[in-house]
Homo-oligomer: A and B are copies of this chain.
Amino acid sequence: MTKDERLQWFEATLEQAGMRRTLPRRILLRLLAASERPLSAQDIYEQTESDINLVTIYRTLNELTRLELLIRTEFGEGFYRYEPAPGPSDTDHHHHLVCDSCGSIADFEGCMVDAMLTQTTIPHNFQVASHTLTLHGTCERCQTSPK
């Protein structure tokens, strides 16, 4: 899924949900789609140079997460980070590598959890819809020069 396809899907989903295509929403989606790593509300606030009210950012993030256009994750920092969802027909998703030393967050492609789950007995007849996997450890930079 290219960046343009993603933005198009975003706009189509907004329309389909009867939501207006406003400036804050488009700026925010564009920002998240372009980002290398999950962004917090504060991150977005700073990157938009305060053009968008922080409250609007929170409200927009909630709306877009509800529409499943965004994924919300907490990495042990005390606040949430958001990133674009994989997309509807996209079975591909990624997870994250969190450096416990410097706090950097990198993507980790090639998830094998779904394959793993087919070989595992899930207790209580629990019906799995999705999963979150986060690997904690030390990034390359911090291995050579620890903070």
Contact = CB atoms under 8 A, between A and B. Distances in A.
In the complex, the count of this chain's copies comes to 2
A120 B126 contact: no
Nearest to A130: B136
Interface residues of A, number: 38
B112 A116 contact: yes
Interface string A63-101: 000000000101010000000000000000000010110
A14 to B, nearest CB: 23
B119 A138 contact: no
Contacts of A72: 76
A127 interface: yes
A9 B143 CA distance: 31
